[in-house]
A and B are shown apart, each in its own frame.
Chain A
Amino acid sequence: MKLNKTLLALAIGTFLLSACSDDEKDASLTDGTQNTASGLNDASTSGLNKGSGAYGSEMDGSGINGVSSGNGDYASTLGPEFNDPNNPLSKRTVYFMLDSSQVLPDFVPVIAAHAKYLIANPSQHITLEGHADERGSREYNIALGEQRAKSVSSMMKIQGVSENQLEIVSYGEEKPKAFGSDESAWEQNRRVEIVYQAR
């Protein structure tokens, strides 16, 4: 025990004196502060936790019922329609076929519903997060994710949503919702998340 305390004191002392560590520490602190301030950090973390199996998505004949990850918390505070499973606004994930960024027919009404809401609420902003499944190369998958997010944003803009309400970010394969090297995991990860921003 005594030895551990000495080691600990030495360790802390050395840590505080080292310039190298300070910069590493600053990098970590900067990340933490910015993430907390924007409120989106919680969203990202919880998205990953959900991916560990607590929430699944079911395949029925005609499509896939999206489970909202990301900042589902904020959207769900906007009104009961955002939590009502019979209302398209409660669906905030759009899924895609392999190697494709084309919006599937099943998701057209979902996107239309969100577009309508955004037109009626011009100060509401959303982020469209694009994702890809894990296969193939990471940076190419970042580009694929962006293509998917842009597909959704184009559709919304055509319907009249203003460009400045839409933000796009692609995470490629870096933030999977489902883990596994099989088709079931892959199809859950080929997605765009519609994330309502608190402003």
Chain B
Amino acid sequence: MNFFRRILFIVLFGFNVPFGHAALTIEITEGVESAVPVAVVPFASQNAPVNISAVVNADLERSGFFKMMPEQSMPGRPSTAAEVNFKDWQTLGQNYLVIGQVSDAGGGQYNVQFQLFDVYKNGQLLGYRMASSADDLRRTAHHISDLIFEKLTGKKGVFSGRIAYITTNNQGSKEQSQQLQVADADGFNPQTVASSVEPLMSPSWSPDGKKVAYVSFERKSAAIYVQTLATGERTRVAEYPGINGAPAWSPDGTKLALTLSKDGSPDIYVLDLSTRSLNKLTKSFAIDTEPSWSPDGSTIVFTSDRGGKPQIYSVPSKGGQEKRLTFSGNYNARASFSPDGKNLVMVHGNGNDYRIAVMDMATRSMNVLTSGQSDESPSFAPNGTMILYASKKGRTGFLSAVTLDGKMQQKLVFNSGEVREPSWAP
């Protein structure tokens, strides 16, 4: 690749270029019968660069809560309240209706307005008008999705969120590299945050969403870095002999739990980020790894094979008695808590089959959510309703989202091909 094309390649990768670069396909693998029927009518617009109603439609569909009406079935294209005939939508079984308009305000600014109606009660539930620059139109669309979602479900929306993940570029060629990317929750606008010819692993968001910790082999053996997203500046916080892995931020943002094998076998440590002091939490001769904090910061769950095969254990985050938590399935690993602390999501294996399962912390019952064969790296959405995870298939890897009850699954397909280790920003 000659020099100039390389510059252009890096720039396209690093900036939000509206060339439709991150074309995202959503394949719905399973639907939900209890999903509420909603119609999002294409907004009346004057050639805005982003199709806002299409983004809203895709967001609401991905949540698993709604059954979206196909455009071709719509009896009309109202964009103002006066144009709406509720009877038309009632006969077609739609519970809610969203209409809107986008108009060019000049100077690269747009005015976006939308209204949400309860079809059977003939009434407006929401109505907003917002100004947006051309660059912010997708963000505005996601904000609209959040508002609608919160109104109709009572839960906080996650459509304005971001995800981090690892992707392999130019796979199989001499120019192969790994990248840590941050993108919108729907996979659009990917930005490369770190790039290396050596492996990158285990991205972990700080609680304030401003930093990411990750593992990099760029210096030939593993080290843990903390990078500030806005500036790209980073600090190497752990490079001990042996393994440096699985960084996990404490809920108060002051510490990282991590895996080090410097004392002989992989153990869980807590690193204080300001003093750089280390507190060793586990001392077995077995493999102890993959720590994750409870939302109140009191407990760390981790993977240990001290019983023979990997299972999930807990330990108080300041040190203390270790307890085994999982007893079902012959392999349980990479556990993390739901935001309300009530559930643990993990990789659950039986034979050659690895799936995502959720364990209720109160009853300890295990619910297997996905169909495998090689599912891994589950990450809860900040509103606790969905889990993002990765699936491996030979040389390729892709991300999927599944609802907490396992009823709705969607595959997220990125342009870049092989995608893995997703982490949903808090």
Residues of A within 8 A of B (CB): 8, 11-12, 14-15, 18-28, 30-32, 34-35, 38, 40-41, 44-45, 48-49, 52, 99, 134-140, 142-144, 146-147, 168-171, 174-175, 179-181, 185
Contacts A44-B198, A136-B310, A140-B333; is A27 near B232 (CB within 8 Å)?
A: yes
Q: Which residue of A lies closest to B216 (CB)?
A: A31
Report if B81 contacts A (CB, 8 A): no
Q: How long is the Cα–Cα vector from A143 to B215 in the complex, in angstroms?
A: 14
Q: Which residue of A lies closest to B266 (CB)?
A: A143
What is the 8 Å Cβ interface bit string for chain B, positions 350-394, against chain A (1 contact, 0 not)?
001010000000000000000001101100000000000000111
Do B393 and A181 have beta carbons less than 8 Å apart?
A: yes
Chain A interface, DSSP helix/strand/loop, else mixed: helix
Nearest first, the 9 A-B pairs at minimum CB distance are A23-B232, A174-B199, A137-B333, A143-B287, A179-B395, A11-B11, A137-B334, A139-B246, A31-B218
Question: A residues within 8 A CB of B376?
Answer: 136-138
Do B217 and A171 have beta carbons less than 8 Å apart?
A: yes
Do B10 and A15 have beta carbons less than 8 Å apart?
A: yes
Do A12 and B233 have beta carbons less than 8 Å apart?
A: no
Question: A residues within 8 A CB of B233?
Answer: 23
CB A20 to nearest CB in B, in angstroms, measures: 5
Q: Which residue of B lies closest to A45 (CB)?
A: B174
Contact residues, B207-245 vs A (CB, 8 A): 217-222, 230-234, 242-243, 245
Kindly list 18 other residue pairs between chains A and B, CB separation below 8 angstroms, not including A168-B242, A169-B220. Answer: A8-B4, A15-B14, A26-B232, A28-B195, A45-B197, A136-B333, A137-B333, A137-B334, A137-B347, A138-B377, A139-B202, A140-B287, A140-B305, A140-B310, A146-B242, A175-B199, A179-B395, A180-B394
Q: How long is the Cα–Cα vector from A134 to B393 in the complex, in angstroms?
A: 10
Question: A residues within 8 A CB of B374?
Answer: 134-135, 181
What is the 8 Å Cβ interface bit string for chain B, positions 12-33, against chain A (1 contact, 0 not)?
1011000000000000000000
Do B392 and A12 have beta carbons less than 8 Å apart?
A: no
Question: B residues within 8 A CB of A27?
Answer: 194-196, 232, 234
17 pairs, A vs B, C-beta closer than 8 Å: A8-B8, A12-B8, A14-B15, A22-B232, A24-B14, A25-B10, A31-B196, A135-B352, A136-B333, A138-B334, A138-B376, A139-B334, A169-B222, A174-B201, A179-B395, A180-B394, A185-B394
Q: Which residue of A lies closest to B202 (CB)?
A: A139
CB B376 to nearest CB in A, in angstroms, measures: 6
Residues of B within 8 A of A (CB): 4, 7-8, 10-12, 14-15, 172, 174, 176, 192-199, 201-202, 217-222, 230-234, 242-243, 245-246, 259, 261, 266, 287, 289-290, 303, 305, 309-310, 331, 333-334, 347, 349, 352, 354, 373-374, 376-377, 392-395, 421
Question: A residues within 8 A CB of B334?
Answer: 137-140
